[in-house]
Structure 1
Amino acid sequence: MPTRQRPTLAESRAPRPSAARRRRRSVVVLVVVALLATAAWFGARFLYTSVVNPTCTITAGGMTETFDPDQTANAALIAALAVKRELPPRAATIALTTAFQESKIRNLRYGDRDSLGLFQQRPSQGWGTEKQILDMVHATNAFYDALVKFKGYQTADITTIAQKVQRSGFPEAYRDHEGQGRVLASTLTGHSPAGLTCRLDAVKTSVAPDRVASDLAEQMGITSVRTGEGRVVVTAPNATLAWAVAHWGVARAEQYGATRVAIGDRVWDRSKGDEGWSAGSAGTTVTITLG
């Protein structure tokens, strides 16, 4: 009886698919890869927007610091009151350094013993009532009232002068935050143009232009303001003050629901995230657009 020949390896393979069938398989693979890549892109975008919190970045003198919108808004108020009082930027640096050490520039309703507010001032030490200290305008003016009583504060060591004003139990701690104070003061008083930008969520609600104008008058002493059609327009007497107003508008954009701040041809656009200020020439007219 003849022996049956075992099939060779080549014979045992399945029939090779046709060229057309191979092409169809390639197309299917490419479609699946494209769908997976698209899903990954949208997933990464969702993760980025959901994880990355709103942030403000301030750059001056080669230094960069980041703060959240609440800190930045409070810092803008502190700097604005120095501008209103025609104090030198050094006064704002001292105040902002102190506020960062005492409260991380937050209007705290608690603290050591009876300490409260931005500067952790104590009613028992004569800074005002609890209600007054929690009013950030009152608290900041009280700090400046005490500061200007010390001659030579403009050139004094920051730890020394902050301690004289605050009478803190940890006087050396102020020195650790002088860098943040300098960056904030230089930018928010208008001496470092285009130094502040914020990445914020989309606007949910916005305030009336008259509210912004009222706050500009109270905090920075700016009264030459035009309002209407969701806009606040300020024509400043000089470029430094114009940048102070522009940075104030960006710093408080979260509170007011501002979508755009323009100074001359330069624009901060809320919808453009981290892009910062556009190129162009800056004049002395600042427009804050709301909603």
Structure 2
Amino acid sequence: MPEPSPPTRKRRGRVLRFGAALVILCAVAGYLAVQYVTGGSHGPGCTVVSGKADGPAYDFTPEQAVNAATITAVGTGRGLPERAVAIALATALQESGLRNISHGDRDSLGLFQQRPSQGWGTPKEILDPTYAAGEFYTHLVKVDDYEKMPLTEAAQRVQRSGFPEAYAKHEPDARLLAAALTGTSAAALTCDGRQDSTQAGAQDGTQAAATGPDAVRSALVRDFGRDALETTAAEVGGKASPTPTPTTGDPRTVTLPVRKDTSPGSGRTLRERGWQLAHWAVANSSALRIERVSYAGRQWTAGNTDSQWRPAGSEAATATVRILTAR
């Protein structure tokens, strides 16, 4: 057989170079996709597990944990069921990877990729996770029988996405998160608690966030409302105080008495309310430099290699959640 002519060898060379370039491009695209979903190269620092032995688990980042806790608190604050929270979390996982991003398709912004031009609010409002979650729930409750619908259908009724089936793939992870962050599952959410430069900023990533007891109190108001800081609802340094800065006791400790959730329509137990507050604190541990959270005879400590909730004190101690911040 005669040897290929020089032009044929050149064509083959171009094909090989094109193939190699395509492989590199696909690898880069895959890497960027992972970064988009996980929120950075530092890797997951939080885990949520099923309340059942040997059940599924989901690993996610501290940034995602903060946003998931906010979305959940807004939903339960409106007396909405766990199903509504799962729908909201699955939607945010699909739309933004649970990241409060300042870009998207056309003028889409934020956790839910809401569009100012479509009446969802101003850009500043939409980039406020509490506001964005509230707007999502406002639209969700207008959907008749949303609790009985497939999750992807309920989410699509709100979002009007060009990919209506995309939400379904996030349902298992969203259900795990919703169960933990509403308090249905006890001792189910852990984080390593290490503060990272990418997590130390504010939720929109524009400025450094404050830390310490005052920052914890501010974040509680942001997510749960001012009732969480009333004299009868919160203690700082172990002593009831209406002021943000304690003068007695351990100044690093915020103690939250667990009271019945009085949100309209809420049927949650005191124990569920307590685990919601405890999991909320762990979810915010990196951003707010929280070192230890105690509730119901269990304790989470930042920096543990396994980051488990360990026995500590009496199991009957369900009256308070104690949050210890870093020095």
Q: Scaled by the length of structure 1, what TM-score is found?
A: 0.78
Moved more, 215-224 or 191-200: 215-224
Aligned to 2:236: 227
Give 1:231 deviation, angstroms. Answer: 1.4
1:218 aligns with 2:253: no
1:112 aligns with 2:102: no
Moved more, 227-236 or 126-135: 227-236
Segments of 4+ in structure 1 off by > 6 A?
203-206
Any idea what the Cα deviations from partners look like across 1:154-187, whole Å, max 9, x if unmatched? 1111111111100111110011111111011000
Residues 203 and 258, structure 1, Cα contact 8 Å, conserved in 2: no
Residues 203 and 259, structure 1, Cα contact 8 Å, conserved in 2: no
Number of residue pairs aligned between Structure 1 and Structure 2: 241
1:38-77 matched pairs, under 5 angstroms: 53=43, 55-61=45-51, 62-77=55-70
Give 1:54 deviation, angstroms. Answer: 5.3
Give, in whole Å, the separation in 1 of the partners of 2:94 and 2:194.
28
Distance change >3 Å, CA 144–CA 289, structure 1 → 2 = same
Aligned to 1:272: 304
Distance change >3 Å, CA 271–CA 248, structure 1 → 2 = same
1:164 aligns with 2:173: no
Give, in whole Å, the separation in 2 of the partners of 1:52 and 1:119.
23
Give, in whole Å, the separation in 1 of the partners of 2:43 and 2:103.
25
Give, in whole Å, the separation in 1 of the partners of 2:272 and 2:189.
14
Residues 49 and 189, structure 2, Cα contact 8 Å, conserved in 1: yes
**Structure 2 residue corresponding to 1:142, chosen from 130, 135, 139:** 135
Distance change >3 Å, CA 93–CA 54, structure 1 → 2 = closer
Give, in whole Å, the separation in 1 of the partners of 2:118 and 2:253.
42
Give, in whole Å, the separation in 2 of the partners of 1:109 and 1:219.
21
1:160-239 matched pairs, under 5 angstroms: 160-201=153-194, 207-221=211-225, 222-223=228-229, 224-228=233-237, 229-237=251-259, 238-239=270-271
Q: Scaled by the length of structure 2, what TM-score is found?
A: 0.70
Taking every aligned residue pair, what percent have the same amino acid on both sides? 45
Q: SS of the counterpart of 1:274? A: coil
Aligned to 1:12: none
**Structure 2 residue corresponding to 1:248, chosen from 275, 280, 284:** 280
Q: SS of the counterpart of 2:48? A: strand
**Structure 2 residue corresponding to 1:260, chosen from 283, 292, 296:** 292
Aligned to 2:122: 129
Structure 1 unaligned spans of 5+ = 1-50
Any idea what the Cα deviations from partners look like across 1:237-260, whole Å, max 9, x if unmatched? 211000000000000001101000
Give, in whole Å, the separation in 1 of the partners of 2:103 and 2:220.
28
1:287 aligns with 2:306: no
Any idea what the Cα deviations from partners look like across 1:8-51, whole Å, max 9, x if unmatched? xxxxxxxxxxxxxxxxxxxxxxxxxxxxxxxxxxxxxxxxxxx9
Give the structure with the larger helix fraction: 1
1:103 aligns with 2:99: no
The one-letter amino acid paired with 2:214 is D
Give 1:202 deviation, angstroms. Answer: 5.8
Distance change >3 Å, CA 236–CA 124, structure 1 → 2 = same
Residues 236 and 255, structure 2, Cα contact 8 Å, conserved in 1: yes
Tell me the C-alpha RMSD between the 2 structures: 1.9
Instruction: State the structure with more CA Rg.
Output: 1
